[in-house]
Amino acid sequence: MRFRAVEKRYGERTVADGFTLDVGAGTVCLFGPSGCGKTTLLRIAAGLERPDGGAVEGAGRVSMVFQEDRLVPHLSSLDNIVLCGADKKAALDMLDRVGLAADAGRPAGELSGGMRRRAALARALCRGFDTLLLDEPFSGVDEQNRESLYGLIRSAGRGKTVLLVSHDRRDAAALAERIVFLQGPPLYIARDVPRRAGWEDGLFDGAGDAPEDEG
C-alpha cells in the first residue's frame, strides 16, 4: 500500500500536504502525538474520507478497528459481528479467541471499555482483508488481554499489511516491524525505523507515557 502525495485540508487547517509513505506487507506503526493526523491517514486509507490531492494505492480489501468502538449497544457482541457479514460460527470462534466467548450474548452496551475494544477487534478480524487498519486498538485493554491480542494480530496479519496507529510504546514495540514517527500537522515523517536487535534502546525517548489500562 502507498500514500502518494496525499493532501488533506479542513478549511484553513492543513493536515497533509504531499504526504508520501510506502507500506509493504507486515506491521507498520504510525507513532506520533495526538492531533498530528494519524487517524486522518487511516480514514483516507479506508475510503472514509477523500484526499484533496494524491491517492492511496494498493490497499485492496480493507478492514478497520476504529478509534471508537462503533458497536450497536443494544445488540450482543455476536450480533454486532454478524451484522457486518460474518458467519456466525466464525464470529463465535473469534470471540472465543479474544476471550469473550462467555459474553457473546451480552449487549455491547453492558460490556466494559476493554471488552468492547476486544469485540471491535474480533469484528475487524472476521472480515477478509488485505490491509488491516488499527486505530488505538488496545485502549482500555488490560495487560493480560493485551498480550493475547498481540499474538492474535500477528497470526491474522501474517503476509498482509497491518497499519497500526498508536501513541503507546508497548503496542509499537510488541507488534511493529517498522515504526514511522510522525509529527504535524501538516504531517511529516520525523523518523522511519525498521526493527533490529536492541532497537528499543532510547527509541521512545521523549515520546510520552502510555495511557492507563481499564480492563
What is the rounded CA–CA span in Å between residue 196 and residue 31?
Answer: 17
Identify the residue with better confidence: 38 or 203: 38
Indicate the average pLDDT of the chain: 90
CB 27 within 8 A of CB 162: yes
Largest CA distance in the chain: 49
CB 114 within 8 A of CB 122: no
**Mean pLDDT, rounded, for 186-199:** 82
Evaluate if residue 6 carries a pLDDT over 60.
yes
pLDDT digits (tens, 9 = 90+) for 42-94: 999 999 999 999 999 999 999 999 999 999 999 999 999 999 989 999 999 99
pLDDT, position 60: 95
pLDDT, position 32: 87
Confidence (pTM): 0.89
Evaluate if residue 119 carries a pLDDT over 50.
yes
Which pLDDT band, with edges at 50, 70 and 90, does 206 fall under?
A: low
Give the residue extent of every domain in the chain.
1-61+132-142+161-195
Residue with cell 493475547: 148
SS3 assignment, position 60: coil
Length of the chain: 215
Which pLDDT band, with edges at 50, 70 and 90, does 215 fall under?
A: very low
Evaluate if residue 170 carries a pLDDT over 60.
yes
Query: What class, spelled out in words, does domain 1-61+132-142+161-195 have in CATH?
Result: alpha beta
Q: In the chain, what percentage of residues exceed pLDDT 70?
A: 91
pLDDT, position 214: 40
**Mean pLDDT, rounded, for 12-35:** 94
Q: Name the amino acid, one letter, at 135.
A: D
pLDDT, position 213: 42
pLDDT, position 161: 96
Evaluate if residue 154 carries a pLDDT over 90.
yes
**Mean pLDDT, rounded, for 99-127:** 95
Eight-class DSSP state of 79? H
CB 141 within 8 A of CB 7: no
Evaluate if residue 152 carries a pLDDT over 90.
yes
CB 129 within 8 A of CB 162: no
**Mean pLDDT, rounded, for 182-200:** 83
